[in-house]
Amino acid sequence: MNLGSTAVSLGGITFGTIIVVLVLLRWHKKGGGGGGKKGDDGGGSRDWKQLLPFFGALCFGILAVLAAGPASALGLITRFSLWGGDSIGTLYLVYGIGGTSPDATRAAPVILSPGGYAVFAIWAAVMIGLYLWSKKLPRLQTLLGILAGILLGLSQGIAGMAAVPLASAVNAAGSWYAGVVQ
């Protein structure tokens, strides 16, 4: 894979899936082995709301890889993340496990409308602001969510299929936003 490419291999998708699985595993284990309520397991809990920042970041990463143009700052960050994550995943599959890593990029990329880009730009500013100023936001978990989204957003599978309704929702919000501000 070259740095300017917007393609993902099975290794990249595998690495993105590993990130999601490990975050879920850590969340589950942090909650303790048996209890689901605070106090039952020595103070930990498996409150699903703790995963919201991760899944918000995951969705952001999915849209980032679809929306970012190659000549933009977001495009450079996204392509570098895609290249790095895909390379790590491919190395893991090929040299760590002994398998292969064929191309697994979806046939038709999802495109945002002009209003969708405006809504995504607002979402990007919110993500940056939350990352910089939030004391409660799990920063590493957020970065991992964005990376996993970037790696999974171009896939043909479930996460790739999630990109279509996600982009459609952002485009619908963008149509509303463009209608309000114009």
pLDDT digits (tens, 9 = 90+) for 53-63: 899 999 999 88
Domain assignment present for residue 3? The answer is: no
For residue 108, name the pLDDT band (cuts at 50, 70, 90): low
User: Is 39 inside a domain boundary?
Assistant: no
The domain in which residue 86 lies consists of 10-34+46-181
Mean pLDDT of the chain: 82
72-91 pLDDT, tens per residue? Answer: 888 888 888 988 999 999 99
Q: Is residue 40 part of a domain?
A: no
Instruction: Kindly state whether residue 4 falls inside one of the protein's structural domains.
Output: no
Q: How many domains are contained in the chain?
A: 1
Q: How confident is the model at residue 92 (pLDDT cuts 50, 70, 90)?
A: very high
> pTM score, two decimals?
0.82
Query: Does 41 map to a domain?
Result: no
56, part of any domain = yes
Quote the pLDDT of residue 43.
47
Residue 91, in any domain of the structure:
yes
pLDDT band at 40 (very low <50, low <70, confident <90, very high): very low
Q: At residue 13, what are phi and psi to the nearest 5 degrees?
A: -65, -40
